[in-house]
Structure 1
Amino acid sequence: MRILITGSNGLLGQKLVVLLRQQPGVELIATSRGHNKLAELYPDVRFVPLDVTNPQQVERVVAQEQPTHLIHTAAMTNVDECELNREACWQQNVTAVEHVVAACATYKVHLTHVSTDFIFSGEEGPLAEDAIPAPINFYGESKLAAERIVQASHVSWAIVRTVLVYGTAHDYGRTNIVLWVRDSLRANKPIKVVDDQFRTPTLAEDLAQGCWLAAKHTASGIYHISSSELFTPYQMALQVADYFQLDKSLITRVDGSTFSQPAKRPPRTGFIITKAQQELGYQPHDFWSGIALLARQTA
């Protein structure tokens, strides 16, 4: 197998590089915009610069590298930024997918495309793969449009949807629920955390595992990849405080109306992951074990 990853500098992309470079029989090509953040850590991994919004670059790189499988992780994922910068969001999340799909069709490459729970309205959850999408923010609209491009194409494809990804990465500026809570409490900083939204949080290593399994099996169709435990962010924050033995009294429980964010959040998503478990052999960490893994990596 020859697997090309887009977005290899991102959180998921980095976890895929770590995972796939260890797999026997896998030749790995990492691609991302800008310089290779993992060059010093993994000099053995082939890296090719790639801006997925440039159709000529996408076509040239796929033609040159001749992958058998492509895992498309590159995307604009900051939900509020997507709401405020819709043109950039559409370019990165939709137009780029058109370019990737076109190249995969030309060179007969299996595509694993990463999507999100934010394509759903959040009126009911946890959700199975056949739930009806109805996004309530522009990020969700862009990711649903991308899914439809993939589904309407003539390529061999799998769509991997995920929920609230957390983890730690090298030279990576963005935070997530676990790091934010831990670092705030360590700094003795009070935080407000919502208790009226529900998610099945996903360890980045588990999402990488789900993407690898979809590619490995040349899977076809949609797969929900997350943990199986449904929590509110407030409940997650309490677990983070407990794990790191930090002061829970600094955590104030609030509802979503406390924050004025540009993009609406779906109140209740989370995934039913039975299909991925049965068809792909996917086995996620529970949240406590995920925190423990992150703690070891950042010790």
Structure 2
Amino acid sequence: MKILVTGSNGLLGQKLVALLRQQREVELVATSRGANKLATVYPEVRFVTLDTTHREQVLQMISQERPTHLIHTAAMTHADECELNQAECWRQNVEAVAHLVAACGQQQVHLLHLSTDFVFSGNQGPLAEDAVPEPVNFYGHSKLAAEQLVRACQAPWTILRTVLVYGTAHNYGRTNIVTWVRDSLRAGNPVRVVNDQLRTPTLAEDLAMGCWLAARHNATGIYHLGGPELYTPYQIALAVAAHFNLDTSLISPVDASTFTQPARRPLRTGFIIEKAQRELGYQPHTLAEGIALLASQTA
């Protein structure tokens, strides 16, 4: 099988490259908009520049490469940026998907699309795949619109929703809840973390494995991929501090209403992952195991 990955410079993209390069049956093509961040890490992996917002570039690439599977991880994912820059968000998260859907339909490429818990309202959770989406911010709205495009694809498709992904990546400037809490506490900076939201934090390696399992099984439909445990961000912060032996007195629990953010956040999401466990053999790490793995990869 031949797998093309979009967004290979991102956190999930890098974990997918690391995983898929080890699979003997996989011919891997990594793509991203910018220069290849993994060029010195995995020089044997073929990399091609691809901007998924350019329709003709996408159509030409898929026609030339003829992958059997395409895992689409590239997206604009920061909710506040999406709220403030809605036109750009729509271009990256919806129009780009329309191009990929068209290309995959023409070439009969199995499209595996990454989505998010932010397609839900947050009124209840954890959520199974048949829960009714109702986004409360523009990011979620864009990702739901993308899902609707994928569902109309004229080739096999899979929607893989995930939630609160954490991990560490090479030459990667963005933080996530685990690295942000760790680095803030190490610097002696106090952190305020919401204690009225619920999530199932997802280790990036687990998410990559879920993507690979879905591709390998030629699974179609919607799957929820998350961690096995439900936590508030405050509880996650305490777990990070405990693992790295940092000062928990610097961590303050607050309500989401404390923060003035452009994008509203759903309060209670998290995923029921029984379908992925049953059909794909998905077995994610616990939060404690995930933090320990992250710690082993960084100083």
TM-score normalised by length of structure 1: 0.99
For 1:57 and 1:152, how far apart are their aligned partners in 2?
21
Q: Which 5+ residue runs of structure 2 have no aligned equivalent?
A: none
Structure 1 position 113 matched with structure 2 position 119:
no
Q: Deviations over 1:144-182 (max 9, x none)?
A: 000000112211001000000000001111000000111
For 1:64 and 1:171, how far apart are their aligned partners in 2?
30
Structure 1 position 198 matched with structure 2 position 201:
no
Q: Which residue is 1:174 aligned to?
A: 174
Secondary structure of the corresponding residue to residue 3 of structure 1: strand
Secondary structure of the corresponding residue to residue 265 of structure 1: coil
Q: Deviations over 1:28-81 (max 9, x none)?
A: 000000110101111100000000000011011111111000000000001000
The amino acid of 2:229's aligned partner reads E
Tell me the C-alpha RMSD between the 2 structures.
0.5
TM-score normalised by length of structure 2: 0.99
For 2:25 and 2:152, how far apart are their aligned partners in 1?
31
User: Does structure 1 retain, via aligned residues, the 8 Å contact 2:108–2:154?
Assistant: no
Secondary structure of the corresponding residue to residue 113 of structure 2: strand
Q: Which residue is 2:129 aligned to?
A: 129
Counterparts of 1:60-139 in structure 2, within 5 Å, are 60-139=60-139
For 1:125 and 1:153, how far apart are their aligned partners in 2?
29
Q: Alignment length, in residue pairs?
A: 299
Counterparts of 1:157-172 in structure 2, within 5 Å, are 157-172=157-172
Identity across matched positions, percent: 71
For 2:159 and 2:271, how far apart are their aligned partners in 1?
14
For 2:44 and 2:163, how far apart are their aligned partners in 1?
31
Q: Which residue is 2:212 aligned to?
A: 212
Structure 1 position 14 matched with structure 2 position 8:
no
Structure 1 position 144 matched with structure 2 position 144:
yes
Secondary structure of the corresponding residue to residue 70 of structure 1: strand
Structure 1 position 44 matched with structure 2 position 44:
yes
For 1:142 and 1:155, how far apart are their aligned partners in 2?
22
For 2:74 and 2:47, how far apart are their aligned partners in 1?
15
Structure 1 position 271 matched with structure 2 position 271:
yes
For 1:199 and 1:45, how far apart are their aligned partners in 2?
34
For 2:47 and 2:186, how far apart are their aligned partners in 1?
37
Secondary structure of the corresponding residue to residue 113 of structure 1: strand
For 1:294 and 1:139, how far apart are their aligned partners in 2?
27
For 2:45 and 2:190, how far apart are their aligned partners in 1?
42
The amino acid of 2:199's aligned partner reads R
Q: Which 5+ residue runs of structure 1 have no aligned equivalent?
A: none
Q: Deviations over 1:194-244 (max 9, x none)?
A: 000000000000000011111111111000000120000000000000000
The amino acid of 1:144's aligned partner reads L
For 2:239 and 2:271, how far apart are their aligned partners in 1?
20
Q: Which residue is 1:298 aligned to?
A: 298
The amino acid of 2:257's aligned partner reads S
The amino acid of 2:279's aligned partner reads E
Question: CA offset at residue 123 of structure 1?
Answer: 0.3
